[in-house]
Structure 1
Amino acid sequence: MKSDLASNSSEKAIQQQEEISRQLLSSLPAAVYTTDAEGYITSFNKAAATLWGREPETGKDRWCGFLKTYRMDGSPLPPEASPMAIALKEKRPVHGEQIIIERPDGVRRHVRPFPTPVFDGEGRMIGAVNMLIDFTQTAEVHHRNEALIRSEEQYHKMIEEVEDYAILLMDREGIILNWNRGAEKIKGYREEEIVGKHFRTFYRPDDREKGLPELLIARAISEGKATHEGWRIRKDGTAFWGSIVITALHDRENNIIGFSKVTRDLTEKKNAEDRITQYANELEAQNRELQQFAYAAAHDMKEPLRKVLFYTSAILEKLQGQLPDREMNYLKLAAEASRRMQGLIDDLLVYTKSASSAAVFEEVDLAAVTEELKAFYQDTIDRTGAVIQGGPLPVIWAIPFQVRQLLENLFGNALKYCRHDRTPVIQISYGQVARDAVRELAASEYDLFHRITVKDNGIGFEPGYAEKIFEMFERLHGRDNYPGTGIGLALCRKIVQNHKGWIKAEGHPGEGAEFFIYLPVINAG
């Protein structure tokens, strides 16, 4: 009886001890599990299930049956080479190892396993207990830090090796703190010669007197960045054209702790731009001289030509019927040639005058100009029965006499090249378009353009001549049927170019022509 009581008491004590062990195991924050001697899991706590991403079946799942293991470099770790397998095989604790486990859901964790064999009273191994310390977050931080260190090293190496840019750091006062290879190449100083000196060293005396270095620092402080281009001085005293960017550097509290300064040597570009500017100025001067000569020459030719035409006409009038037909025809041809030459000279004078873009911009009422041109061409309108139609037309900012000449030429062409089998109709319309809507205006400095359209129903032209008709002296039709000098549309293009705009034409034989004029929208004043 006493023996049964003692046995029951002993079993109860064992059960209590197992319950305490189970609760202790469950309460541990670290993942802990136990296995039998064959590696089958016999118990585990909640932290282990969380780490694994699933709850294994005790007595059925082995410790390695649902996990993939890897070494710290990411290479696969065979189950038989893992710390737990070694502990069971060699019957000894295995500590100090680090591995990566991959859960069934693909998530990987970095762990430190501490497998320890368990022996019974007779020294036989009956299983093992393993604690897994999850240090994934610490490992990730460590890897990020290592990557950051490598990145910083690469960055500093890159800055140091760059040769096309002088890159340096300065303190709040503008004192140079470091020096790269590009700075030595561009400015001529070695690092030990310049570090510790003020960056005003690179500026010309007149710029230092004006306080330019300090002004750039002040601008970088107030605006975050300062840019400038100008002449700088090398160690040997030679000058180079430098493009610089000074950027303010801040700490976490947004306090300025210094500045970065990047300099690029643009001397070759500056010299090339100066040469281009010089060539452009010389070309402009030559063009002005040529325009003045052409104007003077054309003007001086008018008087002798006028006399030729006057005397030829007088002879024709006085000797009408007295000269043989052949001689009379010669005189008529001479008079007609003189009149054509006079018209050509007049058009050249107008073209020379319009070739200048220095004229003053003023308000131009397109509706008023259209009415003026109707009156100007009234005789032709009455003779042909032409109709000029138009919607509302605005007041634009342009060169008045040039805009009138532009529309006069287009209206004149529409009346000249009309078809005789139908009533001539000229339509003028207006709208506005954005720069991006017209491919030829993509490089313009203006965003918005007036679009003036002049359309007729005349004889038209082949689409292949849409560009050619704007060339000087270009004619698509003979003088016998359509008189003219071939300057009118060239003058139109020149006028539009003076306004920094674009003109184009579309046409089809027998259907008519349409001209699109794009002039920039410019605010008055």
Structure 2
Amino acid sequence: MLFVVALLFVSCLILAFCLTGSILSVRRLKNIVEDLQNKNNSLILRDEHFALIELISHLGSWEIFIDQKTVSWSDELYKIYGIEDLSLVPDEIISEQIIAPEYRQKVVKELNFAITNKTTFAVEYQIIQPSGIRKYVLGQGRYIEKENKLIGTVQDITELKQAVLKLKINESLLREAEIVSHSGSWEWLDDKEFLLWSDEMYNIHGFLPHSVFVNDIFYQTLIHEDDLSRVLTEFKQARATRASFKINYRIVRPSGEIRHVLSAAEYKRIGLNDNYAYVGNTQDVTELREAQVLLEEKMLALNRSNEDLEQFAYVASHDLQEPLRKIQAFGERLKNQFSKDLEPEAIDYIDRMRKAAERMRALIEDLLAFSKATRDKRNFVKIGLKTVVEKTLKELDFIIDSKDAQVEVLLEHEVFGIESQLIQLFQNLIANSLKFTEPGVAPKIQITGAYLTGSEINRVECNQNQNYCVVEVTDNGIGFDEEDADEIFDIFHRLHSRAAYEGTGIGLAICKKIADNHSGFIFAEGMRNQGATFKVILPVKQTN
């Protein structure tokens, strides 16, 4: 009996020990499972992060197991290769076919070199997607000897390559532009002895590109001795305040040839580490300078010639007045004293002679007025245009009354001008409106004004940003054909015969000359038998 009890007791102890061990084993297994789950979650999270990094950087990964001859791609590599079917199982043949034919040998060579030498590799090449689109990629990898495999990445660098290509094209265009414009670029970093020159800078100064070391001391030897002091002074003043500068000076090439150049530069920040430099441009302006000098010489000669012609016209016209006065005076005496003894035909000849002399006198007076308008360039003063027109109307009051004309003046504007010339201008315009009318029709003339900017006037002659006073003289006269609008301002140009309307054809030419003297413009609008409008555009203020 005691044996049985003892046996039962021992069995219970063994069972308790086994149960305890089982519980501990279960607990250990549970801990192992939890640990594996945590590691698995960490791996999943890491894979997600890696996939996101691949997506952002356009970077795909791959593995090639050499013994098994199998290949694996990441999802991003499928996208880079342009393959939408992610179920496609890649192999060595597919991988090689994606590479552009002209790059396959190069890529295979790099891979074999990595395997043979158990090392890394990096190679740029092109791929061809199934759609036919080419891409630039950068392949990098390493041989893993323990597993006898290659692992690597493929990064899409197409945008980078295109940017580099554009940069090279832009640099090429810049070099060509510098050659065409004879303009070189340069850079002088703070605290650096040397200057960086473009190829054209060397050409401008008579050197082969990069054939000499350029610093400030060397460059001073290239500046013409008569300009050196001035250039150094202007540059030092600009550098003291880090200001921009623009300097004209001469350089002397190694051959002894002298060239004119224009250098301009700005002080600016370059790079990432607070580096500053003068970045500039130097242009060879020798031909431009020579053309400018030649033009100035021709302008001086032309001005002298014009002055001589104007003086000749003035003197000649003035001297012709006296013979004409004698012709008129003696003709008048001949008619008054001997008309009884002369045949009617002879009296007719005398009348024609006197009328011709009168026309000649009027022509000379208009030529004198035109010459005076050309030579008279006095100082400008502020003038009220209404006052100018009122003075003009007083000069024409007789003809205004005789023709029963109506003149309406709506002009409360001021400009800087020469009063005597403006009176002459409005006198000619109003006289034209009074003269060129239909018989029996009373002239109606309206004079108005407005302040407008050049952009509002919408004529190419006007400065878009300048303020103008636009005066319009409108009448109900006989008008003119539109094609004659420009020609009527030519000297001696007439639209009608002398028998129909008297005149010399100089009046509107004088108006144009006076408008020119005021840096202004005049033009006309009209239609035959429907009146005309003359527009005078004068700057409100005169500028040099």
Shared topology, TM-score over 0.5?
yes
Q: Distance in 2 between matches of 1:456 and 1:23?
A: 101
Aligned-pair distance for 1:401?
1.3
Report the 3-state secondary structure (helix = DSSP H, G, I; strand = E; otherwise coil) of the residue aligned with 2:77.
strand
Match runs of 1:114-125 below 5 Å:
none
Tell me the residue number matched to 2:344: 325
Aligned-pair distance for 1:7?
7.9
Aligned-pair distance for 1:434?
1.7
Aligned-pair distance for 1:301?
0.6
Tell me the residue number matched to 1:506: 525
> 1:387·1:426 contact (CA, 8 Å) conserved in 2?
yes
Report the 3-state secondary structure (helix = DSSP H, G, I; strand = E; otherwise coil) of the residue aligned with 1:202.
coil
1:81 is aligned to 2:90:
yes
Aligned-pair distance for 1:257?
3.8
- Judge which range, 390-399 or 434-443, deviates more: 434-443
Point out where structure 2 has 5 or more consecutive residues left out of the alignment. 1-13, 56-71, 96-118, 128-137, 145-150
TM-score (norm 1): 0.75
Structure 1, residues 72-116: CA drift from partner, whole Å, max 9, x if none? 7x5659842279x99xxxxxxxx9999x9xxxxxxxxx99999x9
Match runs of 1:259-338 below 5 Å:
259-338=278-357
Q: Distance in 2 between matches of 1:359 and 1:472?
A: 23
> 1:362·1:524 contact (CA, 8 Å) conserved in 2?
no
Decide whether aligned partners of structure 1 residues 474 and 442 sit closer, same or farther in structure 2, where only a CA change above 3 A counts: closer
1:344 is aligned to 2:400:
no
AA in 2 matched with 1:23: N
Q: Distance in 2 between matches of 1:113 and 1:288?
A: 86
Decide whether aligned partners of structure 1 residues 159 and 502 sit closer, same or farther in structure 2, where only a CA change above 3 A counts: closer
Q: Distance in 2 between matches of 1:218 and 1:155?
A: 34
Tell me the residue number matched to 2:481: 462
> 1:455·1:512 contact (CA, 8 Å) conserved in 2?
yes
Match runs of 1:120-135 below 5 Å:
none
1:400 is aligned to 2:419:
yes
Decide whether aligned partners of structure 1 residues 276 and 29 sit closer, same or farther in structure 2, where only a CA change above 3 A counts: farther
Tell me the residue number matched to 1:89: none
Tell me the residue number matched to 1:69: 77
Tell me the residue number matched to 2:466: 447
Match runs of 1:399-418 below 5 Å:
399-418=418-437
Aligned-pair distance for 1:69?
3.0
Report the 3-state secondary structure (helix = DSSP H, G, I; strand = E; otherwise coil) of the residue aligned with 2:526.
strand
Decide whether aligned partners of structure 1 residues 240 and 334 sit closer, same or farther in structure 2, where only a CA change above 3 A counts: same
Q: Distance in 2 between matches of 1:500 and 1:209?
A: 40
Aligned-pair distance for 1:384?
1.1
Q: Distance in 1 between matches of 2:192 and 2:299?
A: 40
1:19 is aligned to 2:34:
yes
Decide whether aligned partners of structure 1 residues 424 and 155 sit closer, same or farther in structure 2, where only a CA change above 3 A counts: closer
> 1:409·1:489 contact (CA, 8 Å) conserved in 2?
yes
Question: Which of 210, 217, 228 is matched with 1:208 structurally?
Answer: 228
- Judge which range, 417-426 or 184-193, deviates more: 184-193
> 2:184·2:199 contact (CA, 8 Å) conserved in 1?
yes
Report the 3-state secondary structure (helix = DSSP H, G, I; strand = E; otherwise coil) of the residue aligned with 1:352.
helix
Structure 1, residues 38-95: CA drift from partner, whole Å, max 9, x if none? xxxxxxxx64786799xxxxxxxxxx999463497x5659842279x99xxxxxxxx9
Tell me the residue number matched to 1:241: 260
Report the 3-state secondary structure (helix = DSSP H, G, I; strand = E; otherwise coil) of the residue aligned with 1:418.
coil
Structure 1, residues 146-200: CA drift from partner, whole Å, max 9, x if none? 9998888888888888643333333447843334432222112454544234233
Q: Distance in 2 between matches of 1:357 and 1:233?
A: 47
Q: Distance in 2 between matches of 1:214 and 1:16?
A: 85
Percent identity among equivalent residues? 24
1:219 is aligned to 2:238:
yes
> 2:408·2:446 contact (CA, 8 Å) conserved in 1?
yes
User: Which has a greater percent of helix?
Assistant: 2
Decide whether aligned partners of structure 1 residues 145 and 489 sit closer, same or farther in structure 2, where only a CA change above 3 A counts: closer
Decide whether aligned partners of structure 1 residues 379 and 318 sit closer, same or farther in structure 2, where only a CA change above 3 A counts: same
Structure 1, residues 432-470: CA drift from partner, whole Å, max 9, x if none? 222223454446496221111111111111111111111
- Judge which range, 503-512 or 415-424, deviates more: 415-424
Decide whether aligned partners of structure 1 residues 492 and 150 sit closer, same or farther in structure 2, where only a CA change above 3 A counts: closer
Decide whether aligned partners of structure 1 residues 441 and 160 sit closer, same or farther in structure 2, where only a CA change above 3 A counts: closer
AA in 1 matched with 2:488: I
Q: How many residues align?
A: 467
Tell me the residue number matched to 1:374: 393
AA in 2 matched with 1:284: N
Tell me the residue number matched to 2:509: 490
Aligned-pair distance for 1:372?
1.1
> 1:431·1:450 contact (CA, 8 Å) conserved in 2?
yes
AA in 2 matched with 1:236: S
AA in 1 matched with 2:90: A
Tell me the residue number matched to 1:480: 499
Match runs of 1:107-118 below 5 Å:
none
Q: Distance in 2 between matches of 1:348 and 1:6?
A: 135
TM-score (norm 2): 0.73
Decide whether aligned partners of structure 1 residues 165 and 70 sit closer, same or farther in structure 2, where only a CA change above 3 A counts: farther
Q: Distance in 1 between matches of 2:214 and 2:228?
A: 19
Aligned-pair distance for 1:218?
3.6
> 1:217·1:246 contact (CA, 8 Å) conserved in 2?
no
1:424 is aligned to 2:443:
yes
- Across the aligned residues of Structure 1 and Structure 2, the Cα RMSD in angstroms comes to 4.4
Decide whether aligned partners of structure 1 residues 270 and 446 sit closer, same or farther in structure 2, where only a CA change above 3 A counts: farther
Q: Distance in 2 between matches of 1:30 and 1:96?
A: 28
Decide whether aligned partners of structure 1 residues 383 and 223 sit closer, same or farther in structure 2, where only a CA change above 3 A counts: farther
